Amino acid sequence: MAMTRSTPTHDALIIKRYGNRRLYDTESGGYLTNQDVIDIIRQGRDIRVVDSRTGEDMTKMVLVNIILEEEKFRQNLLPVSFLLQLIRLQGETLQDFFQNYLTATLEAYLRTRREFDRRFREWLDLGAALTALPKPPQPLTADEAAEDGDPKRTTARRTARKTAPKRRSKSPSKPS
């Protein structure tokens, strides 16, 4: 199974970041909102953000900024206790956490999710295939069994008569 890409590749979309924090798509020639960048990434495309004056790579800063901006609206992505622990961790410990543990955990989660989705689709396909199978033959009715002459079926007819609800016969009403 292929690992997810953790760094932008050479075919990444180049986005220029201007001093006023505006993001410019160098392919389409237009400005992007944070939501536009999110949509591009969710479509599977890598991005690389560079400072328009210096050419410095600003990708991490912009991505973190987008996550924090999104947090304002959802307020549940990063719990306060998690943020406090991040601040308490120091230097190498924090770097090791992000580079090794968090990345590996996220990749494992994504693999598990893909596997679950694959198996769920298999179950749906199996269910669809089963509904497309011809229906099994229906048992004979009591009358059909009696015509057949099979003693087991005749017994079934008698049992059906005994358990069947009694019909009321309509008696003519008397004129008053």
Q: Where are the domains of the chain?
A: 10-76, 79-131
Query: Which H, E and C letters describe the chain, residue by residue?
Result: CCCCCCCCCCCCEEEEECCCCCEEECCCCEEECHHHHHHHHHCCCCEEEEECCCCCECHHHHHHHHHHHHHHHHCCCCCHHHHHHHHHCCHHHHHHHHHHHHHHHHHHHHHHHHHHHHHHHHHHHHHHHHHHCCCCCCCCCHHHHHHHCCHHHHHHHHHHHHHCCCCCCCCCCCCC
Q: How would you write the pLDDT of the chain (176 residues) with one tens digit per residue?
A: 333 444 445 689 999 999 888 999 999 999 999 999 999 999 989 999 999 999 999 999 999 888 888 888 776 777 888 878 877 877 677 777 777 888 888 899 999 999 999 999 999 888 888 887 777 777 777 676 666 665 555 555 555 555 555 555 555 555 55
